């Protein structure tokens, strides 16, 4: 496996000055020198100046140049500015800036076998340029393919919704799922010298063919949960009312009257619509 080696280059402005000096000197020798050796020397000096000027490199911040000599990797230049390298080197420009990649909406089956649509955003950058260039054919395409592959694999390991307490789900455990997705993508992309900074799900939904049925199921679960909470509160209020009546001796109720009162209060408290009161003008037994 090829690892990055940082290579220091000569200052570019110094070599630019030397190259221009050699160029003008060679032109002067050809122009004013006698025919023969002096003019040949002038031509050689100009050729040397062209070689010097050909070795100048402009490196921007957060950019590097991967240097090769006749196919051999000789190092990576990271210092920004005008630099000079051997003109026989081939220099490939690689960006080390932070990049975003958003996958397409993938249709996969979750752990329960339900078809879902899922997409993710991966924030990444190149940290080892030698691995990025020499270990994979096209590191940008490698990032895209492996990120989508990791997302498919992760989506198949967890259910869309949580079925039991403490179970991880794609919808209910987004921070944990994002961390697991980052770990899996990082493991796949480490071979290409790529660091994953962040990874998170950007789109999550049931597939169109089951979306309606799943929406009704979610609505039913929400209604059941709300009903359970209403009943629990109503029972608590009825119990409190009976205790207060008994404590303050407001009225004496036998078991039948208590049952009737509990039934009426539960109807009032748990009803979807407002209860219509009936005024009893007789005794409580009429």
Which tens digit of pLDDT belongs to each residue from 263-275? 766 666 666 666 6
* Model confidence pLDDT, tens digit, residues 222-266: 667 777 777 777 778 777 777 776 777 766 666 766 677 677 666
Give the residue carrying structure tokens 């990649």.
Answer: 101
Give the residue carrying structure tokens 């498919």.
Answer: 152
Cα dihedral 69, 71, 73, 75 sign: positive
Is the pTM above the cut of 0.75?
A: no
Phi (first) and psi of residue 65, to 5 degrees: -125, 120
Whether the CB-CB separation of 155 and 116 falls below 8 Å is answered with yes
How is residue 182 written in tokens?
């980052």
Whether the CB-CB separation of 80 and 60 falls below 8 Å is answered with yes
pLDDT class of 283 with cuts at 50, 70, 90: low
> What letters, b where the CB count within 10 A reaches 16 and e where it falls short, cover 52-81?
bbebbbebeeeebbbbbeeeebbbbbbeee
Cα dihedral 219, 221, 227, 232 sign: negative
Superfamily for 99-206?
Band 7 domain (3.30.479.30)
Q: Where are the domains of the chain?
A: 10-95, 99-206, 214-270
């Amino acid at each position: 496996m090829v690892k990055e080696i940082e290579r220091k280059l000569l200052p570019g402005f110094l070599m630019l000055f030397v190259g221009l000096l050699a160029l003008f000197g060679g032109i002067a020798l050809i122009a004013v020198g006698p025919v023969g050796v002096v003019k040949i020397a002038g031509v050689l000096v100009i050729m040397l100046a062209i070689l010097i000027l050909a070795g100048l490199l402009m490196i921007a911040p957060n950019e590097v140049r991967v240097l090769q000599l006749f196919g051999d990797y000789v190092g990576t230049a990271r210092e920004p500015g005008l630099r000079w390298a051997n003109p026989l080197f081939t220099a490939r420009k690689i960006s080390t800036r932070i990049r975003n990649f958003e996958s397409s909406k993938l249709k996969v089956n979750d752990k329960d076998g339900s078809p879902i649509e899922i997409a993710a955003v991966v924030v990444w950058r190149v940290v080892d340029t030698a691995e990025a260039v020499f270990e994979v054919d096209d590191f940008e395409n490698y990032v895209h393919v492996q990120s989508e592959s990791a997302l498919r694999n992760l989506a198949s390991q967890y259910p869309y919704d949580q079925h039991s307490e403490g179970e991880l789900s794609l919808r209910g455990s987004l921070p944990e799922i994002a961390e697991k997705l980052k770990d899996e993508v990082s493991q796949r992309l480490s071979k290409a010298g790529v660091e994953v900074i962040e990874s998170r799900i950007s789109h999550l939904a049931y597939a169109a063919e089951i979306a309606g049925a799943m929406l009704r199921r979610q609505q039913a679960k929400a209604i059941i949960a709300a009903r359970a909470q209403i009943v629990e509160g109503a029972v608590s209020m009825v119990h409190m009312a009976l205790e207060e009546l008994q404590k303050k001796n407001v009225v004496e109720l036998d078991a039948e009257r208590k049952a009737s009162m509990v039934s009426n209060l539960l109807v009032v408290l748990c009803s979807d619509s407002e209860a219509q009161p009936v005024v009893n003008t007789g005794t409580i037994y009429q």
